[in-house]
Amino acid sequence: MNHVVIIGFMGSGKTRAGKQLSKDLGLQFVDLDKLITKKMNLSAREIFEKFGEPYYRALETVALKQLIQDSERKVISLGAGVPLQEQNEKYLKELGTIVYLKGSLTTLKKRLADSKKDPMLDGEDRDDKIKKLLKQRDPVYQKFADIQVVTGEVPFEELIKEIEEKLSTYEKNS
């Protein structure tokens, strides 16, 4: 099934863009993190704290496999860590067209300044942590991306239009 799959760093706008794309394309929207937290009846932070990161990553992989089996095309927003897990590589390729929302360090720092949601940002100096994670994750996201757009530099409507145009062109040529 060729789903539209959105990847990117936390704060890049995956959920917002995914919801708008699903509305415009007439497809159901699925947020992988929400799927997991609803099933577990715990927040991502609570799952991390109770069971640890490896457990959460395993839940993501199980959810990915289930989405591949889904014959109804969807727009799917993935958690920022999903592409980093080696076991997910083959599933991501099977899932559909990958759209990478690439945020600049400035944009992401601004958007994540007050976020308490993501346990990956706990601990060290937040700006340093964002910079370090971005440096580690960007090449991985780029490797998977069929389409790449920069978020935070144009109005939201223009960003969505750019994604839709690139998606249409990409899917025509695939």
**What pLDDT, on the 0 to 100 scale, is given for residue 119?**
55
**What pLDDT, on the 0 to 100 scale, is given for residue 45?**
86
Task: Write out the DSSP string of 121-158.
Answer: G-SS-HHHHHHHHHHHHHHHHHHH-SEEEEESSS-HHH
Q: Annotated binding site, which residues?
A: 11-16, 33, 57, 137
- Look up the pTM and report it: 0.90
Q: Annotated binding site for ATP, which residues?
A: 11-16
Tens digits of residue pLDDT in 116-156: 656 556 666 777 877 888 888 999 999 999 999 999 889 99
3-class secondary-structure state, position 115: coil
Neighbours of 43 (CB within 10 A): 13
Q: How confident is the model at residue 88 (pLDDT cuts 50, 70, 90)?
A: very high
Q: Which of 172, 79, 91 is nearest to 120 (CA)?
A: 79
CA distance 134 to 52: 22
Whether the CB-CB separation of 103 and 141 falls below 8 Å is answered with: no
**What pLDDT, on the 0 to 100 scale, is given for residue 116?**
63
Tens digits of residue pLDDT in 44-75: 889 999 999 899 999 999 999 999 999 999 99
Q: Annotated binding site for substrate, which residues?
A: 33, 57, 137
What share of the chain has pLDDT > 90, as a percent? 67
Q: Which of 64, 45, 63, 62 is nearest to 53 (CA)?
A: 45
Q: Is the dihedral of CA 92, 40, 25, 155 positive or negative?
A: negative
List, in order of start, the domains of the chain with CATH numbers.
3-169 (3.40.50.300)
Q: How confident is the model at residue 108 (pLDDT cuts 50, 70, 90)?
A: confident
